[in-house]
Amino acid sequence: MRRIHRRALAVTLLVALILGLTGLYAARQMLYGGSWAGFPSNGDAFISGRIRAGTIKDRDGEVLYAVRDGEGRWAEDETTRVASLHLIGDRAGFIGSGAMFHYAGTILGYDPINGLYSPNGQGGVLELSIDADAQRAAWEALKGRRGAVIVTDYVTGEIVCMVSSPSFDPEDPPEIPADDTSGVYLNRPLSAAYTPGSIFKLVTLAAAIENLDDLFERDFHCSGSAKIGGGTVTCGRAHGDMKIEDALAESCNCTFAALAVELGGETLKEYADRFGLTSRQEVDDMRTAAGRFDVGEAGSFDLGWSGAGQYHDLVNPAAMVRFVAAIAGRGDTPRLTLQRDYTHLGVTRDHILAATTAEKLGEIMEYAVQRTYGPDNFPGLKLHAKSGTAEVGTEKPNAWFVGYIDDPLHPYAFAVCVENAGSGASQAGKVANAVLQACTQ
């Protein structure tokens, strides 16, 4: 009897194990079936690197890519094709961020219940959160210069614009030499990390707001240069006497380098880490490039410059827009997505900044627009922003402009970086204005 009991127990355990594994497999198939089915080497899903069926549309239903009679075609309009190359993907499959690879299950019309592609062979429709008008506006405003433009809805996390330059027409791809150094296949908003320059002062300012009780009562003085840690930090001109709001609006290096030294490298690093600027961030199943903040020696010249966004600092544009979205969202930032209405079941938000700090930062960014950037340069937009002009050892610095608009109908946060373009506010600021005008039409 005892033996029978033991056998019955063994059989029960075995059955439980099989049921458990089957359940696990079913659950994983529900979750990942689309991406398994859409794996580029799956012959049922892809023909010579291109997806076999389906359509990719923008948020207003404009077709960005469609397969008809077995032939995949990009958008009809050339500017749309070039502006959205890194978003959709290229013919040869060199662009790893292409939607046709990352959302293949949806595009093919994969059904997770029965594991079949759309029975009529037409495939499915992927609705991107992207606005094709904003894509074209960003591309045209870049005027052939290299750079990254990303705009996201800070309430839902939907990315409405993501443009990378240089680019090419996927319907007529050029010969690209093997030793090409332009990074043409790189989707810069997701995969590049740039020296931030003065946009990093938002991080230093956040740390100062939370750690220096008398920050808003203090008087700062800039004579155009300051001795810090055995070196000299310089400003473009002597900013004179000012409060912290003016120091940000004027982007005073002397003030921010001194604040960085006072706060200490460990504190600044803690804030950069907390804001997600040093780690890889998620955009659906993709990951951004990680940024970098090296702790300079206490009291040093390097630490001073790191607090002003130079030294070894690096940030990724998507991670930066996620941080700015937290300023707009009273400390909460939504998970980024490229899929339209993906968030109907609820938005996942990360709380990365105290609400009161976010509010203060937002006020000072609005003040910077009023005082320095000029509201007339951004007609109709309730803009909050910070510019950056990042020295990168080339003739002209990289131009940055980041911020958000206070507009319940168009709650957009943005990050624009134009490489070797010169002044942040005038060069990247112009691109940001063109894109935001298109987004708010």
Binding site for Zn ion (CB under 5 A): 222, 235, 239, 252, 254
Give the nearest distance from C-beta 239 to Zn ion in angstroms. 4
Nearer to Zn ion, 239 or 269 (CB): 239
> Could you tell me the maximum CA-CA distance found in the chain, to the nearest angstrom?
95
Closest approach of Zn ion to the CB of residue 250, in Å:
6
User: What is the nearest approach in angstroms of Zn ion to the Cβ of residue 251?
Assistant: 8
Minimum CB separation of residue 418 from Zn ion in Å reads 24
Please, which residue, 229 or 331, has the CB nearer to Zn ion? 229
Rounded to a whole number of angstroms, the minimum distance from the CB of residue 248 to Zn ion is 11
The distance of closest approach from Cβ of residue 275 to Zn ion in the complex, given in angstroms and rounded to an integer, is: 24
- Alpha helix positions (H), 253-412: 253-263, 265-274, 301-306, 317-328, 355-368
Report the run of H or E that residue 106 belongs to, with start and end: helix 104-108
Closest to Zn ion by CB, 157 vs 307, is 307
What beta strand segments (E) does 132-206 contain?
147-153, 159-165
Nearer to Zn ion, 186 or 252 (CB): 252
**Residue 166, preceding bond cis, omega within 30 degrees?**
yes
The closest of 108, 114, 134 to 56, measured between CA atoms, is: 108
Tokens found for residue 247: 């120091």
Would you say 155 or 254 has its CB closer to Zn ion?
Answer: 254
Min separation Cβ 253 and Zn ion, Å:
6
Cβ nearer to Zn ion, comparing 194 with 220: 220
Rounded least distance, CB 360 to Zn ion, Å: 21
Chain center to CA of 95: 17
How many C-beta atoms lie closer than 10 Å to residue 239's C-beta?
21
* DSSP 8-state class, residue 290: P
Q: Which is nearer to Zn ion, 252 or 369 (CB)?
A: 252
- CA–CA separation, 29 and 112 (whole Å): 7
Question: Cβ 332 to Zn ion, closest distance in Å?
Answer: 33
Phi-psi region for residue 266, left (φ > 0), alpha (ψ -120 to 50) or beta? alpha
Closest CB 197 distance from Zn ion, rounded Å: 14
Half-sphere exposure of 384 (CA within 13 A, CB side): 24
Instruction: Reduce the DSSP state of residue 140 to 3 states and report it.
Output: helix
Cβ atoms within 10 Å of 307's Cβ, excluding its own: 35
**What is the β-pairing status of strands 55-57 and 125-127?**
parallel
| Strand ranges for 105-239 from DSSP E | 125-127, 147-153, 159-165, 220-222, 225-228, 231-234
Query: Which of 102, 239 has the CB closer to Zn ion?
Result: 239
Residue carrying the six token digits 């198939």:
29
| Residue closer to Zn ion (CB basis): 160 or 252 | 252
Burial of 14: CB neighbours in 10 Å, binned 0-12, 13-18, 19+: exposed
Q: In terms of CB distance, is 7 or 221 closer to Zn ion?
A: 221
Pick from 388, 377, 441, 428: which is nearest to 143 by CA? 428
328 alpha carbon, distance to own chain's centre: 15
